[in-house]
A and B are shown apart, each in its own frame.
Chain A
């Protein structure tokens, strides 16, 4: 062992280290360990503080100020920003759109992902190949894929409208009106995240011990009954995880909306208003950063609520 413990009653600790050891009633090895721990964590926490903790806190503070980037006077306004939000049609529209988007993308992608995972869990051949194919959109960057989909959705020359014309559907201006653009973006986003949900749920399905299925089949359960009685309850924690993660991600949707519906001079688009876009526009195009921070706080509360629900349910399951 390195050193005997330097007890506090040892007179005249020769070094500063000895004195500290004495004061804290620890031995020198422990002191060396503490020093390593705190010194090692200092750089990590400095980065955390600058890049994450302080900005999180300051978002809340800014939301109480009329904080305009280029105005020198930034008065405290209390809850005025929040009151204004309640009357702001753009914000309410963004909130509604984002919620609708989240509900549909999560609903569709989780149900489809679960169905695909169930198919793959049946020890099918080529499972790795299927996994890779469905995972491909997850891994490819968003912008090129949004452009590819924009081209598929093109009203005049788009291949989707052509395919629909076989069924007698007249050309749809997918990205020219916000209502329809919502569906185009939902389809694109489901395509993008489906493989992620599928792979995660497949992991969950495979972790269900076979004995449960054996026991249930002895009791005569099969097919849908087996799925409902055995699979779903045992899959609940990971299913919940997938739902919450997907919902949080859906609430932060921005890139595909920006690329697919932001107009340019050649082709005026109909911007689909979502929360992050609204924050971006208020904060960085109109420079109303206090107001945008209030919006960010609302988004934070939504996400926190979802996370807490998840933690709660998991804890209740554990008990």
Chain B
């Protein structure tokens, strides 16, 4: 009798108690994850005097969007945004192209030196970018690429992980018979690559594209070194210099921060699942 009631008590605890407890922990965590976003948005919609209230209020008393035009007039954020798009898209396309061709060759061919070359590519990814940016800067200087798009995008044009990802995909999910059949039909290796391989890589191309785009968009220290005039600043760099000019004007800083966050947030809401998969299953570094 006693054991039975204990049993049902435990069952109820399992069915209701545990999930309720889990949800309250997760919910509290979610609130702290979201709070900085909410606070940033709320601050951006306040007139200046309301940012200096004590005690602070979460929501504005007099809602205003006036901070946004002020920000857009104070710094060329549209230009920063377009620069970021150019560099991120350029990086994305180059990473996809180099990863596809190298992934195909490493995945489906045997040739002298293959193992060595593949090891070099993977091993080079063990060195964080920050450790070799000085010589890279000197190279860019001698090429005359300082303050140019290719110079700013340079470190983000290749990704060892991308080559690895494509190699795994092509080696394991594209059957050799398909390639041999095309060869019998007289297709050259290049034609096989373009007509047979690339169309079958849509899914890893998507994942890799997202990864490369995010990585280039988040770049900070390299654009800080490379972009010497304001018209070449990327969003992140532009925002940080804006911050140094308007140190204490949090109504303006928040509006600028919202502006630079919104494009990524929209992309995240649309591609949520794909983004989580590609970033999480892979690791951002490459």
Contacts and interface: CB of A to CB of B under 8 A. Distances in A.
A interface SS class: helix
B261 interface: yes
Interface in B227-286: 235-237, 239-240, 243-245, 247-248, 250, 253-254, 256-258, 260-261, 264-265, 268, 272-273, 275-276, 279-281, 283-285
Interface string B11-48: 00000001100110110011011101101100100000
A151 B154 contact: no
A191 interface: yes
Interface stretch (A85-93, A212-220, A278-286): A278-286
A272 interface: no
B135 interface: yes
A231 interface: no
Interface string A115-152: 01001101011101011111111111111110111011
A254 B121 contact: no
Contacts of A37: 105, 109, 111, 114
Contacts of B163: 44
A241 B136 CA distance: 29
A145 B34 CA distance: 11
A152 to B, nearest CB: 6
A267 B247 contact: yes
Interface residues of A, number: 95
A279 B128 CA distance: 13
A316 interface: no
A101 interface: no
A252 B128 contact: yes
Given A134-B30, A267-B247, A292-B134, A47 B158 contact: yes
A144 B52 CA distance: 20
Contact of B54 (A139, A157, A203): A157
Given A59-B132, A254-B221, A255-B221, A148 B158 contact: no
Contact of A267 (B121, B235, B248): B248
13 contacts: A44-B102, A47-B98, A58-B135, A116-B25, A124-B19, A124-B23, A137-B33, A139-B279, A143-B235, A145-B36, A145-B257, A157-B53, A284-B137
Given A116-B26, A143-B243, 10 more contacts: A37-B111, A55-B133, A56-B124, A126-B23, A141-B235, A141-B260, A157-B54, A297-B131, A299-B128, A299-B131
Query: What are the 5 closest A-B residue pairs judged by CB atoms, nearest first?
Result: A144-B257, A36-B189, A58-B135, A55-B135, A55-B132
Interface of A: 1-2, 29, 32-34, 36-38, 40-41, 43-45, 47-48, 50-56, 58-59, 62, 116, 119-120, 122, 124-126, 128, 130-145, 147-149, 151-152, 154, 157, 159, 162, 191, 194-196, 199-200, 203, 241, 245, 248-249, 251-252, 254-255, 258-259, 262, 264, 266-267, 276, 279-280, 283-284, 289, 292-293, 296-297, 299-300, 303-304, 307
Interface of B: 18-19, 22-23, 25-26, 29-30, 32-34, 36-37, 39-40, 43, 51-56, 98, 101-102, 104-105, 109, 111-112, 114, 117, 120-121, 124, 126-139, 154-155, 157-158, 163, 183-184, 188-190, 193, 214, 217-218, 220-221, 224-225, 235-237, 239-240, 243-245, 247-248, 250, 253-254, 256-258, 260-261, 264-265, 268, 272-273, 275-276, 279-281, 283-285
